[in-house]
A and B are shown apart, each in its own frame.
Chain A
Amino acid sequence: MSAPAPPGGARWKPAPLLPRDDARETALLFVVAVLCFLACLAAITALASDRAAQGWSREIRGEATVQVRPALNETGSAAAARAAEVLAGVPGVTEAAALEREKAEELLRPWLGDAVLDDLPVPHLVAVTLDPERPATSQDLRVALRRAGVDGLVDDHGRWLKDVERSAALVRVGALFLFALMAAAAGAVIAFATRAGMAARRDVVEVLHLTGARDDFIAAVFQGRFARLAAEAGLYGALAAAAAAAILKLAGSGGGFGPALPMTWSDLAVVSPCPLVAATVAAVAARLTTLRLLRGSP
């Protein structure tokens, strides 16, 4: 018998076992890409929020305010100046400056207006800047003031710090929840598509079964198909999200989504695992769905 030419070339590979269904797969690609886009935007927003929260925390941690109560024979300004001098010598303090009355009035003006400020006993404040590496504690400041005989109330802004940290944690949890929601939605869409794909390609599934394919083999066929599709959708979604974030950063004068949410160019790298994550979610969803459906067949 003369052997005919089999499919040629060292690179020859058999055709995919599932035919492409362009119409349905294009719609699925679009839906998964949109979900990936939203998930990536959530991730970028979470990073920006985290950075903003860290910045606020750093600022708050690096400052303290001391309200000075002058002694009987002492003016407020003199007491504040004395307190500033004492505090400037405390280890962990980089600067301590008494706040001029004008500056204190400036801080109060937005709440109280011009009319009443002249008649008000404006508090005598000392603004303390702390060493960011080894900041002095509020206790250190209190002890130093007491030793110098200055009556002062130290505010280390701890109340605000807790609020900021709580808000930052909430944003992080919210972003994680959004991400998980998108992943679950993508998984559900893929599971639905797998069911539809198996129903539409029942002929292929049956022939594979009857020619001795294990459930694992058939699951791998669908798993591979949907994982490739999701990876492609993930790539499109990630690129679109990165482009959208870049446009917002440029539109916000390079600062990010505005002053409240500072973003750096490196934040855009957070979208890079998206194709891999999308492919993994799709592969798992398709595999579980296929195996569950096959278990019901003879």
Chain B
Amino acid sequence: MSSQAAAPSEPPSSPSTGPVVRFETVGLRYGREAEVLKDVGFTLAPGSFHFLTGASGAGKSSLLKLVYLALKPTRGRVELFGRDVETLPRAELPLLRRRIGVVFQEFRLLDHLSAFDNAALPLRVAGQKPAAYRDDVAELLTWVGLGKRMHAMPPTLSGGEKQRLAIARAVVGRPELLLADEPTGNVDHEMGLRILRLLVELNRLGTTVLVASHDQDLVRGSGMPVLHLDKGRLTRREGAQA
């Protein structure tokens, strides 16, 4: 596999030495409603793995949206790879987004594209030629267990297959930061464990990982540190194997 696509065999390059993500007294509100995030502050060191937990509506997805630049904070400071997103020129946002892989809760696969084309999307968007990424994407899909389903369209995939396809798309560009929003929410426990192992393996290869999950068993079982949101406020707990 070339250095262009995600590889299970080699870590991604991570040139930054400071935190990958830094939040300082971040607040977020939608319109005139009450704040969904209040004075949130945390940092994610390069190569770290964190879970983001909290009850439904606690603000997990909103926090992730701030990290993957779908939203801007209403107050406070968000830094990604050492850059303040508030002062970042619009033209530079795509370059920052390419350093982030996102597994969306609702997958956000494009139904009119095959599994292969969905997985290859970040490379295509980055301007790579199909001939340059064909083999890498096929290999990656095999790695996530979709080698025989790469020509299938998303509506014909099972929940677990969609989840793994979403992960493949998120990591194909070898991101330095991987965000996953409830990646085990739509699959059974066994598939959830497989997906977690996949994420852990990516982390072992050097990718910083933040996983939003309400699956307490999974979180406790992983022994990873936890960022916990409660009514918009964040607390940090060190992981402990259950």
Flag whether A110 is at the interface (Cβ < 8 A): no
**Closest partner residue, chain A, to B99 (CB atom):** A212
Flag whether B124 is at the interface (Cβ < 8 A): yes
Flag whether A213 is at the interface (Cβ < 8 A): yes
Stretch from A40-48, A82-90, A203-211, A252-260 contacting the other chain: A203-211
Q: What are the residues of chain B within 8 A of A14 when measuring CB–CB?
A: 113, 117, 120, 124, 130
Assess whether B102 is in contact with A4, with CB atoms less than 8 Å apart: no
Among candidates A13, A204, A212, residue contacting B98 with C-beta atoms closer than 8 Å: A212
Centre residue among B91, B94, B102, B122 by max chain A CB count within 10 A: B94
Residue interface bits B126-143, CB-to-A below 8 A is 1, else 0? 110010001101110111
Assess whether B70 is in contact with A298, with CB atoms less than 8 Å apart: yes
**Closest partner residue, chain B, to A211 (CB atom):** B122
Question: Which interface class (under 10, 10 to 19, 20 to 34, 35 or more) fits B?
Answer: 35 or more
Among candidates B70, B91, B135, residue contacting A6 with C-beta atoms closer than 8 Å: B135
Centre residue among B68, B110, B127, B150 by max chain A CB count within 10 A: B110
Assess whether B138 is in contact with A204, with CB atoms less than 8 Å apart: no
Q: What are the residues of chain A within 8 A of B94 when measuring CB–CB?
A: 209, 212-214
Given that A3-B138, A6-B138 are known contacts, is A211 also in contact with B125, CB under 8 Å in the complex? Answer: yes
Flag whether A139 is at the interface (Cβ < 8 A): no
**Closest partner residue, chain A, to B111 (CB atom):** A19
Among candidates B113, B130, B142, B148, residue contacting A13 with C-beta atoms closer than 8 Å: B130
| Nearest CB of chain A from residue B49's CB, rounded to whole Å | 22
| Nearest CB of chain B from residue A86's CB, rounded to whole Å | 81
Residue interface bits B192-220, CB-to-A below 8 A is 1, else 0? 00000000000000000000000000000
| Nearest CB of chain A from residue B47's CB, rounded to whole Å | 22
Q: State the majority secondary structure of interface residues on B.
A: helix
Number of A-B residue pairs, CB cutoff 8 Å, is 88
With the chains together, A17 CA to B110 CA distance in Å? Answer: 9
Assess whether B70 is in contact with A4, with CB atoms less than 8 Å apart: no
Given that A15-B113, A207-B110 are known contacts, is A212 also in contact with B125, CB under 8 Å in the complex? Answer: yes
Flag whether B97 is at the interface (Cβ < 8 A): yes
Given that A203-B108, A214-B94 are known contacts, is A6 also in contact with B116, CB under 8 Å in the complex? Answer: yes
Q: What are the residues of chain B within 8 A of A17 when measuring CB–CB?
A: 110, 113, 124
Q: What are the residues of chain B within 8 A of A295 when measuring CB–CB?
A: 90
Given that A3-B139, A211-B169 are known contacts, is A15 also in contact with B102, CB under 8 Å in the complex? Answer: no
Assess whether B91 is in contact with A214, with CB atoms less than 8 Å apart: yes
Assess whether A204 is in contact with B110, with CB atoms less than 8 Å apart: yes
| Nearest CB of chain A from residue B113's CB, rounded to whole Å | 5
Assess whether A6 is in contact with B134, with CB atoms less than 8 Å apart: yes
Q: A: which residues have CB within 8 A of B? A: 1-7, 12-15, 17, 19, 203-204, 206-215, 217, 295, 298
- In the A-B complex, list the 6 residue pairs whose CB atoms are closest, starting with the nearest: A212-B98, A19-B112, A6-B138, A4-B147, A212-B97, A213-B125
Q: Could you list some 19 contacts between A and B, CB below 8 A?
A: A2-B142, A3-B138, A4-B138, A4-B141, A4-B148, A7-B150, A7-B151, A12-B130, A14-B130, A15-B113, A15-B114, A17-B124, A19-B112, A209-B97, A211-B125, A211-B169, A213-B94, A215-B90, A217-B125
